[in-house]
Structure 1
Amino acid sequence: MKSRSVMYRLLLGSTALAAAFVAPAVFAQDAAPAAQNTPADDTAKPADEEPVIIVTGIRNSLQTAATLKRKANTFVDSITASDVASLPDLSVAEALARVPGVTVTRFTLGGSPDFPSPEGRGNLIRGLGFVRSEFNGRDAFTANGGRSLDWSSIPPQLVGAVDVYKNSSADLVQGGIGGTINLRTLEPFDRKGYFAAVSMDVNYGDLAKKFSPSYNAIIGNRWQTSIGEIGLMGAVSTSNLKSAYNGWQQPAPIPRGPNTGNPTDAANEPSSVTEIVPGKTVGAIEGFQMRTSDIDRDRASAYLAAQWKNDTMKLTGKYIRVINKTVSVEHTLESFPDGGNNQRYQITDATFDNSTTPLNRCNVPAVSTSPVRPVDYCETQFPVDGGYMTSGTITNNFDSWTGAYGLGAQVLGIGKKETTITDDLSLNFKWRPTERLYVELDAQKTTASAKSNETWGGSQTYAIAHVVEGLDHPELTLTTDPRTQIHPDIVAGHVQTGVDGNGNATYAYTPGVQTSTADPDAAFWLYAGDGHHNGTGELTGYKADVQYDFAGESWFKSVKFGARYTDRSQTDANAGVNWSGVAPAWAGSGLGLFGSEKTPAYEEVDFADFYRGGVLQGSNTKVLAIKSDLLLDPVAMQNYIKNEPTFTNADGTSKIPYVAQLNADGTPKYDPANISDVREKTTDAYLMLNFGKEFNNGMSLDGNFGVRYTTTTLDSHGFMAYRAFGIDQQTPVVNSDGKTVRTADAESHDAEQDFLPETTVWLCPTVATAALTAADTTAGYTDATKINRACPRDANIGKSEAQTVSQKDTHWLPSFNLKWNLNSEMLIRFGASQNLSRPNISDLRAGQTTSAITTRTSYPTIQPCVPVAPATTCVEDPLFGIDRGVQNISLDQIRVTGGNPNLKPTTANSYDLSWEWYFKGGMVSTGIFQKDLKNIIQGGDQTLGSMTLDGKTVNVVYGGQVNQDTASIKGVELAYQQFYDFLPGAFSHLGLQANFTYIDASATPPPAYIDADGNGVPDDFGTIYRFGVKNLLGQSKYIYNIVGIYQDSKWEGRIAYNWRSENLLTYRDYITGDPVFNSDNGQVDASIKYNVNRNLQIALNASNLTDTKNKATAQINADGTRVDRFSFLNDRRFVLDIRYQY
């Protein structure tokens, strides 16, 4: 049997080199999962006693992972390179989703869930996101403002093995409350002698419908010399991935009926109610959204490693460089009612289901603003007796004054470029001066940068929409209204050439009747915007570890102690997308009709293949979008808008208010409040005692206990920027047509400056001189005393003050781990520890913005006169339609937003207990766990104090990330893996890997709103958190994986199913304001490999074979009722891989 086993392993060896960089796994998979937990024992062995590393396939990979789990001194799960490369997991994050209790994140948790990633970006461990990432046991991060490495930027070909720590010991670096993920790479001494390999694969995504290649190469050798043994290796990898996703979104139902009252619009003015079904109250679903995104990712990496050793010492140096570049273009076709404008939508031919759940009015979408002010804070529920709408024809004649009929269907284009670069240089020295003493010294230098820019361009056309709702098989049919013909006198750049025979004006350009949704005579520029980010980070770290083994047979086996120092700095500059109208009809600069442009800036986008076809039906499948080359170049976008003849005045100046966030040289421009410089210095020390005892009955105990001391000093530099009030435009009493439009005294009481002079000066203290400039006159000023020249008018920026915040925190973190070996196969393991996770670097920034929150009280609306019978006429109020200014503007609050450098670390107590059985060919384990967390960081408000301005004392409130929550997590993990060698024939090559995790978690929900003055009214309606949701972000209650395996001497196959139950994506969706939940989701992946000979291997991998859609629902009331929100469909990916090693 022994000779058969050895031969079997040798035959399987040819499957090991999964890709050029995959060698780390197969060469290093016998290494311990954490270098911190083992002495430098390899320096104690002569070269001729080196263990033989046998290259094997998935069978040995799983056995190695089980061995690592069994021997570890705390709770560890591992995957090795064969695991990473055996499935088409294009990032480490996706591969880790097969570890018990680990899930992959594809959405930005807590923020907008509208922009998923086709590749997994990060991981949660047991539902927690406080995960520390390490590269070869050292700090690793991406300069995006967080603390973790973006695993999507790391090629799996670079991976030797990945260890997932779910509890802690004193010698593990703090920072991973959820757990620690350590990625280990290849070292030259992991294989004897010369080795080299090359590989190539081709990836195809069936939504992108494009092929993309990857190339990998590795070479290494080791030599005996007079000064010891030397090893060198180098590896390079390039990878291109072209992927795509499609997304369907729909709004929550809105009550429409005879008793739903008068909802308010975005200006808090009543809107009329239009019944859909006479006498019935129904849930109307008023709108749709279709989104396509094409993503082109290029990734290049280089890896160099050198080693030297003799009998007592070993020196290892490594250098890793990874460059990740992503270019994406997204197009969205949508029509949503904005604010209260939903009441202007007409719905006919509607069908309804049998739903009777009452509805509130808080779910009116707000596309361009924060959700509208809910008059009753979502408390008033309207009974539904007509069901929720499932299909219907939607139209809207709101824009008929422009000559347009139908819904305003918007087409949003977003172009985005992202580049991340990570360089990591490390040096490690191991020394065994005596038989019992081990010393390890380590140093690293890591630099990282992350840059991105995105440009938005929006256009609009008109259509009548017939919508069939649903997340699986929605349908949309667009038709045009034959009455739609844009009036020529509202078109930007229109020139009147004379009059016709009927006395009507004629123009140089007259739009024709709309013929389709892609007709340039019925589509126009609507808005544009750009956003930028530039982050750079640097970390220098040193550590020393010493272990001394005790002699004799006492309980105490060894003592380990050490110290660590890191100095990390990061600079971040952010400029959020600055939405700005370009040429909508209401802007006054003329409608930017595509058909009238001298230089066309549009391109056709066809949605016919959305969801692989069948959703957008009929002949109108194309729309006009802003050109992609403008979306991918903010400078070109700005220059086009500035120079397009139809957008310029006679003197050549631009009519359009759009100003990109760019300096004169085209580089991004950042407000002072959005630039931060954070520096952290951390000093750690630990002491850990290892113990163990063998008993005569075959049982034994071993474990460790210790304490870790950590202290961190933070210095955060930034600016406090004060947001000045907007321009007090000097509007004349009589307009250019000679019509009186406002009262003579309206100008004296129509803006914040008129009512709050002290607050005005406090926000921007420099008072203007008496003289008016030409720019002042153009801006509409007639009174120079109302101008603060220190405040740039384009951004309402007031004064800026540099500020530095320093803080220091110290923690003692005890830990205890015990392993009770019941016999040679079974053990019971227990672990208890304290740990902490520090806030994200971006959350600690000192850059902040202060603004004044005010309430405007308008004069009562004067209604048009209505004749009283029998009279047929009446006298109109002389003030009807006249602007009278405002009654009052009062100061409610001083609000501070931005970073919070006073945040404290989140801390946790963790407990684990497991039973594990390791038998020939497999293992079974079951465990229970619990974590109690304090000071969880979430979005919220915090009262900082108060101040008096303009005779009123108001609260100063910070809104942003605050320490406010606690959480408790407990659960169960089950794991099983086995190869069925005892079965006859081909069945003996079968294996199964399965795991299941149950998580029960509860957390303190974010406060519904802040009411600092106690008047019962929320201080900020833009950040209301509804319904008291207690879920943790991203936490699924159930997670399981099932992997079927086949492996013989020539073939290796695997089919895997990964499933997780629903999880919370955000407490507050930007569009609806509702909590949004990702629905249950499962995906099937598969791979098959053929070993042509011991050197050549061919593999075919496939992912998302089930073509699974990622669906989400929104909660619409306190009872937990959910309605459909969105559904995203990713590529089915297929990878053909050819590998050769020698």
Structure 2
Amino acid sequence: MTGQRASIANAISIKRNADQIIDSISADDIGKLPDRSVTETLQRITGVTIDHFISRSDPDHFSVEGSGVNIRGLTFVRSELNGRDAFSANGGRTLSFEDVPPELLSGVDVYKNPSADLIEGGIGGLVNLRTRLPFDSKGQVISVSASGSLGDLRKELEPSFSALYSNHWQTPIGEIGILADVAYSVSATRTDGVQVEPYYPRTDLVSGETVYIPKGIDWRQLDFTRKRFGAYGALQWKPADNLEIVATVFQSRYKFHWDEHAIFAQTNAYNIQPAAGTQFQFDDNGVFQKGTETDTNASDGGMPFSDDVRSADQKSVTTDISGSIKWHPTERLTLRADVQHVHATNSSFDSTVATGVNLPSETVDLTKNVPSVSVDPAYLANASNYYWAFTMDERQHNVANEWAYRADLDYDLDTGGFLKSFRFGGRMTSTHADNKASPYNWQAVSQTWQVPGVIPRLAMLSEFPLASQNFGFGSNFYHGGANVPLNVIFPATSQATGYPDTYYALHDLTTQLCEEISPASDCPTFALAQFGDAQTNIQREKNYALYGLLKFDFDGSGLPLSGNLGLRWVQTTSNASGFIVQPAPISGAPAGGPVFTGVSEAINAKNKYHYFLPSLNLLYKLTPKLQARFAAARAMTRPDFTQLQAYTPLSASYDTTTGTYNFASTASGNPYLKPTTSTQFDAALEWYFGKASSLTGTVFYKHLNNIIRNVAVPFEFAGTTFNLTQPENVGTANIKGAEIGYNQAFTFLPGLLSGFGVTTNFTFVDSKTKVDVSSLQANSAAYVSANGVDTNGAIFGRLPLEGLSKYSYNVTGYYEKGILSARLAYNWRSRYLLATNVNGTQGSDGTPLTAGGVQCGASTAADHCVVWGLPTYNASYGQLDGSIFFKFMNDKVSFGIEAQNLNNAQNRVLMKQSTGLMGRAWFVSDRRYTASMRVTF
């Protein structure tokens, strides 16, 4: 048995013989997983789902290859490489799986319920990426592959290649093997999107009724280019029959660049009216359906829109150097020692420059499959109608290092009784993480709300003709399925990539205009994004663990029951370096009150905790082919380093009208957070009825403690109590569900039909959270972060856990006979919560927040100045992929075609508002086709 059927059989064998509840995917050839990325591969495993956004907190940017990985709906996922730590320098604790070339891997294992010898950290599950070793093959192996991919939107050729060499020899000093593996790939994709801005309540449009109207329709195109390089080397030495030494080096390099052209509304929703002689249409709930919108505020000169060109770059490098020794001093005793060093870096730069245009009107129709928008094309194509609007820069630089040491003792107790072995071991890690991330530094060049108080007029392109471009979205925008204007004046891409010189030139326009009416000292100042106290997150952490694991088997006494019982003890000590920034002197406060200076005070926040994590895994063989499992354990996941940042900026003000003080703060992190813990149970029934054939079912339950939410708590500083909003361990959650997996090789069918097979799975997950909201209701800003607030100020109730789809399934049909190997796979998941306030927090009149709160326009009523942030969901999504390969020369040569997104899937984003779940965004991306050839000898 070879190819796909062999890989399925191997994965089934791993699951059947494992001590824990586990699911696997194995390569059907050396270093060849069945997808273009590890993330895409993982979604084929029962209970595993992935996100399709570059970041969960950014639902405006779709990711073709997928990103975040959830197991059983939970984001608490631990990542490993060959049973050791694996992480990216992104402020978290896990590996960005899309960074890893799948060509370097021989398989992926997902552990659902741990045993005591597994490293702690994955409440949802543990993902272990497996690479090959030289002794895995009988002799010399040389394998090379090359491929080219093309997307039907981007239409750029994407080359990829990989090469592997492995061999081992008998020498005078023992058996020695070496393995070297390299892989390089490029992915060039495009995503087109249409978006609806949040809906705002209006009482002045329909007499006696409250209706809801969006402030505009947006559309965008994102061109994404990813380059990935990986190298892996292994040295295996067996100087004696009872001694083996292994050394490995693994490095993954991941770079992406994307350019985006987006036009989006910056209109004040309370200024929108129907165009003269027209009326808006609303549904029975008062929600806007269609109409022609205009802006009634004469000072705006139309409906303000921004047209931005955005250029973003990111580079990630993870290097793992590891070594291990396994020694059998006696027949019963095995000793293992392991050392590992991981060095990870991540740097990024994001640059946006925008023009602005004030549209006379915009005709919108939300009754279609994709929102439709019409604007006078001649007006949009005329550069004299545009002005220079804003710039925004953001950058990150992260470095993480870890040393890990492990020692294990395994003693064989099998003397004919039910006790089989006892394993004991310990592990110690030392981690340093230095993360720097500037905020998104949005600064106006010229905006309608600056006229005439700050500048006398807008910086029109006709007056200041810096580099711009007439960008055509093209007739194939959204595969021709969306009706939007296709020609818009944008800044030239060089305005974004020419940072910082282009930024200085643009903001010099603001200065020129401002100084026409104001002294230079009163004009806005410009500064580039900086790494200050607030943006520096320095973490030091040491972890210690000891475990004991007893394996037993009662089969010899006639009871087909086996398993293991274990206990793991872990202790963590951490240090977070940061600052408490006391308030500036309080303006207008009477004498005798609190006195502050605004000085930053360095702090070194220390935290220490320990946990006992028991585990039990049982296997009962009902028949030779039918077996049952039960697992119970306590697990934990530590907070991400971004959640542990030590930075607390305090603010204080005095209200002269009421004579009261306001002491408040919002901290970006909390260095005293505890891990989230889980008490969890699994029960499974597994039927293995043939080669590459099985039917398995699992039910599970998890009770989580110490889940983290943003809440308001009292904070004492210099004798004053501040209302501090920060992450806290405040709630519990219950997760329950079921998984079913079915694999069938139809070898019983006659002739050519015997090549067919199917592998499929289904997962149901349900969750309930319980968070103490009494403290949240006392502080609206805290509640925004926890559950979200609508544009009308309404507070949303309990929300599910982020990332959890109630239903998900995979169906893969394959055919393998002779030289032909074909596969068709469909993956689907139901709606899930992306984040609680991902659409951003701003004044409901569309203007940005200031340090003291909402900056409302002079024409905006006070009740419109609410701080809002909407819960955002991903609607159900399914994607069809396929491949067909031909093998020649005894399977040593293969040629094939792969295709992703054959169904041209549409991904929808929803936003929760008082009127229900409203459509937020509609995305489509390339259908990708790949031709590849592989030679192994």
Normalised by the size of structure 2, how large is the TM-score?
0.90
Return the alpha-carbon distance in structure 1 between the equivalents of residues 502 and 290 of structure 2: 39
Pair 282,584 (structure 1): closer, same or farther in 2 beyond 3 Å: closer
Other-structure match for 1:1139 = 934
For 1:233-289, what per-residue CA distance to the aligned partner results, in whole angstroms no more than 9, with x for missing partners?
212211111112122221344444xxx3xxxxxxxxxxxx3x2x5676544334111
Which structure's CA Rg is the greater one? 1
Other-structure match for 1:315 = 245
Pair 854,438 (structure 1): closer, same or farther in 2 beyond 3 Å: farther
Shift of 1:984: 1.1
Q: Is the 8 A contact 1:896 1:956 kept in 2?
A: no
Other-structure match for 1:231 = 177
Other-structure match for 1:780 = none
Q: Does residue 700 of structure 1 match 2:591?
A: no
Return the alpha-carbon distance in structure 1 between the equivalents of residues 650 and 30 of structure 2: 48
Q: Is the 8 A contact 1:940 1:1006 kept in 2?
A: no
Q: Is the 8 A contact 2:116 2:548 kept in 1?
A: yes
Shift of 1:940: 2.8
Other-structure match for 1:326 = 256
Return the alpha-carbon distance in structure 1 between the equivalents of residues 288 and 426 of structure 2: 64
Shift of 1:1113: 2.1
Q: Which has the higher strand share?
A: 2
Shift of 1:88: 6.5
Q: Does residue 902 of structure 1 match 2:672?
A: yes
Which one of the candidate residues 659, 662, 672 is aligned to 1:892? 662
Question: Which AA in structure 1 matches 2:544?
Answer: T
Question: Which AA in structure 2 matches 1:414?
Answer: R
Q: Does residue 631 of structure 1 match 2:527?
A: no
Task: Give the unaligned 5+ runs of structure 2.
Answer: 789-794, 841-867
Question: Which AA in structure 1 matches 2:684?
Answer: S
Return the alpha-carbon distance in structure 1 between the equivalents of residues 469 and 86 of structure 2: 43
Other-structure match for 1:475 = 372
Q: Does residue 543 of structure 1 match 2:406?
A: yes
Return the alpha-carbon distance in structure 1 between the equivalents of residues 329 and 784 of structure 2: 67
Matches within 5 A, 1:6-25: 9=1
- Length, aligned pairs only: 894
Shift of 1:108: 7.1
Secondary structure at the counterpart of residue 501 of structure 2: helix
Other-structure match for 1:429 = 325
Shift of 1:411: 1.1
Shift of 1:118: 2.4
Other-structure match for 1:72 = 18
Q: Does residue 293 of structure 1 match 2:63?
A: no
Which one of the candidate residues 300, 309, 320 is aligned to 1:413? 309
Matches within 5 A, 1:354-365: 354-356=283-285
Other-structure match for 1:141 = 87
Q: Is the 8 A contact 2:271 2:295 kept in 1?
A: no
Return the alpha-carbon distance in structure 1 between the equivalents of residues 483 and 83 of structure 2: 51
Shift of 1:1018: 7.0
Matches within 5 A, 1:174-189: 174-189=120-135
Which one of the candidate residues 947, 953, 963 is aligned to 2:729? 963
Return the alpha-carbon distance in structure 2 between the equivalents of residues 293 and 757 of structure 1: 57
Return the alpha-carbon distance in structure 2 between the equivalents of residues 836 and 536 of structure 1: 25
Return the alpha-carbon distance in structure 1 between the equivalents of residues 777 and 738 of structure 2: 40
Q: Is the 8 A contact 1:123 1:129 kept in 2?
A: yes
Q: Does residue 593 of structure 1 match 2:362?
A: no
Return the alpha-carbon distance in structure 2 between the equivalents of residues 297 and 169 of structure 1: 37
Q: Is the 8 A contact 1:170 1:708 kept in 2?
A: yes
Shift of 1:941: 2.5
Question: Which AA in structure 1 matches 2:294?
Answer: T
Return the alpha-carbon distance in structure 1 between the equivalents of residues 568 and 828 of structure 2: 37
Question: Which AA in structure 2 matches 1:1078?
Answer: N
Question: Which AA in structure 1 matches 2:545?
Answer: D
Q: Is the 8 A contact 2:56 2:68 kept in 1?
A: no
Question: Which AA in structure 2 matches 1:321?
Answer: Q
Return the alpha-carbon distance in structure 1 between the equivalents of residues 897 and 154 of structure 2: 19
Q: Is the 8 A contact 1:110 1:1067 kept in 2?
A: no
For 1:693-728, what per-residue CA distance to the aligned partner results, in whole angstroms no more than 9, with x for missing partners?
21576x511100010011011011112234648xxx
Other-structure match for 2:587 = 753
Pair 852,279 (structure 1): closer, same or farther in 2 beyond 3 Å: closer
Q: Does residue 1050 of structure 1 match 2:847?
A: no
Return the alpha-carbon distance in structure 2 between the equivalents of residues 426 and 347 of structure 1: 72
Return the alpha-carbon distance in structure 2 between the equivalents of residues 94 and 184 of structure 1: 16
Secondary structure at the counterpart of residue 115 of structure 1: strand
Shift of 1:521: 1.2
Pair 524,1009 (structure 1): closer, same or farther in 2 beyond 3 Å: farther
Other-structure match for 1:453 = 349
Which one of the candidate residues 860, 863, 888 is aligned to 1:1092? 888
Return the alpha-carbon distance in structure 2 between the equivalents of residues 603 and 1008 of structure 1: 53
Pair 208,853 (structure 1): closer, same or farther in 2 beyond 3 Å: farther
Q: Does residue 117 of structure 1 match 2:66?
A: no
For 1:930-949, what per-residue CA distance to the aligned partner results, in whole angstroms no more than 9, with x for missing partners?
0000001123332224777x
Secondary structure at the counterpart of residue 611 of structure 1: helix
Secondary structure at the counterpart of residue 462 of structure 2: helix
Pair 802,1018 (structure 1): closer, same or farther in 2 beyond 3 Å: closer
Secondary structure at the counterpart of residue 58 of structure 1: helix
Which one of the candidate residues 908, 913, 925 is aligned to 1:1116? 913
Return the alpha-carbon distance in structure 1 between the equivalents of residues 510 and 539 of structure 2: 46
Return the alpha-carbon distance in structure 2 between the equivalents of residues 830 and 341 of structure 1: 59
Q: Is the 8 A contact 1:597 1:646 kept in 2?
A: no
Return the alpha-carbon distance in structure 2 between the equivalents of residues 1063 and 596 of structure 1: 48
Q: Is the 8 A contact 2:445 2:507 kept in 1?
A: no
Q: Is the 8 A contact 2:676 2:705 kept in 1?
A: yes
Normalised by the size of structure 1, how large is the TM-score?
0.75
Pair 317,824 (structure 1): closer, same or farther in 2 beyond 3 Å: same
Q: Is the 8 A contact 2:787 2:798 kept in 1?
A: no
Question: Which AA in structure 2 matches 1:897?
Answer: A
Q: Is the 8 A contact 1:1008 1:1024 kept in 2?
A: no
For 1:173-198, what per-residue CA distance to the aligned partner results, in whole angstroms no more than 9, with x for missing partners?
11011110000111111112221111
Secondary structure at the counterpart of residue 599 of structure 2: strand
Shift of 1:1130: 2.1
Other-structure match for 1:250 = 196
Pairwise CA RMSD of aligned residues? 2.8
Return the alpha-carbon distance in structure 2 between the equivalents of residues 421 and 820 of structure 1: 45
Secondary structure at the counterpart of residue 94 of structure 1: helix
Shift of 1:979: 0.5
For 1:1022-1049, what per-residue CA distance to the aligned partner results, in whole angstroms no more than 9, with x for missing partners?
8773321331111111111111110012
Return the alpha-carbon distance in structure 1 between the equivalents of residues 382 and 762 of structure 2: 54
Question: Which AA in structure 1 matches 2:893?
Answer: L
Question: Which AA in structure 1 matches 2:217?
Answer: F
Other-structure match for 2:689 = 919
Return the alpha-carbon distance in structure 2 between the equivalents of residues 712 and 319 of structure 1: 28
Pair 84,592 (structure 1): closer, same or farther in 2 beyond 3 Å: farther
Return the alpha-carbon distance in structure 2 between the equivalents of residues 284 and 638 of structure 1: 35
Pair 456,848 (structure 1): closer, same or farther in 2 beyond 3 Å: farther
Secondary structure at the counterpart of residue 988 of structure 1: helix
For 1:34-91, what per-residue CA distance to the aligned partner results, in whole angstroms no more than 9, with x for missing partners?
xxxxxxxxxxxxxxxxxxxxxx311011111111001111111011123998787332
Other-structure match for 1:878 = none
Return the alpha-carbon distance in structure 1 between the equivalents of residues 523 and 250 of structure 2: 48
Secondary structure at the counterpart of residue 1057 of structure 1: strand
Return the alpha-carbon distance in structure 1 between the equivalents of residues 63 and 30 of structure 2: 20
Which one of the candidate residues 1059, 1083, 1102 is aligned to 2:828? 1059
Shift of 1:800: 1.3
Q: Is the 8 A contact 1:136 1:182 kept in 2?
A: yes
Return the alpha-carbon distance in structure 1 between the equivalents of residues 116 and 560 of structure 2: 22
Shift of 1:601: 4.6
Q: Does residue 822 of structure 1 match 2:622?
A: yes
Return the alpha-carbon distance in structure 2 between the equivalents of residues 758 and 671 of structure 1: 32
Which shows bigger deviation, 824-833 or 587-596?
587-596
Task: Give the unaligned 5+ runs of structure 1.
Answer: 1-8, 10-55, 261-272, 357-383, 481-514, 663-668, 726-751, 766-797, 858-886
Percent identity, aligned pairs only, is 32
Secondary structure at the counterpart of residue 66 of structure 2: coil
Matches within 5 A, 1:1000-1039: 1000-1005=766-771, 1007=773, 1010=776, 1012=778, 1025=788, 1026-1039=795-808
Return the alpha-carbon distance in structure 1 between the equivalents of residues 291 and 835 of structure 2: 29
Shift of 1:889: 7.8
For 1:832-869, what per-residue CA distance to the aligned partner results, in whole angstroms no more than 9, with x for missing partners?
000100000121121332223666x8xxxxxxxxxxxx
Q: Is the 8 A contact 2:670 2:726 kept in 1?
A: yes
